[in-house]
A = this chain, B = another copy of it.
Amino acid sequence: MAANSRFAVAVHALSLLAWREGERRSSREIAGSVATNPVVIRRLLTQLQRAGLVRSAHGAKGGFVLGRPAARISLYAVYRAVEEGGFFALPEKGNDACPVSCRMKGFLGGVFSRVESKVAPELRKTTLADVVRRLPA
């Protein structure tokens, strides 16, 4: 299972928190909905916490809540929090003696950043509040 479903799981977990905003949810509850292990959820939510998207409380009756209102958490914020790299990768090597190879890195870097600049606004359009609106009350 090397498929990268971190973004999907993060949105799922945050949607649960947004669904009943304000109520604490334990990693065990969230893991139950996502059908995975609580530790996997805690690992992922640690990343989201560093980005300010969630806050956690230790101890009994502890758990997670959103770090700010659902309407102010876009899918792009989630994407940035869990995916460090972009969509594609540049190869680290290359033959510097070849004039084509020399130019490829710069060229592809430009392509990748133009792609990113199209994806970002699309993901910014949707917030967790929009997600909740699609969920049953």
A59 within 8 A of B: no
Known: A4-B89, A12-B101. A107 touches B94 (CB 8 A): no
Interface size class of A (residues with CB under 8 A): 35 or more
Q: Which A residues between 112 and 137 are near B, CB-CB below 8 angstroms?
A: 114-115, 118-119, 122-123, 126, 131, 134-136
Chain B hits for A119, CB < 8 A: 87, 115, 118-119
B-facing residues in A66-95 (Cβ within 8 Å): 75, 85, 87-95
Interface of A with B (CB < 8 Å)? 1, 3-5, 7-9, 11-12, 15-16, 19, 32-36, 75, 85, 87-95, 98-101, 103-104, 107-108, 111, 114-115, 118-119, 122-123, 126, 131, 134-136
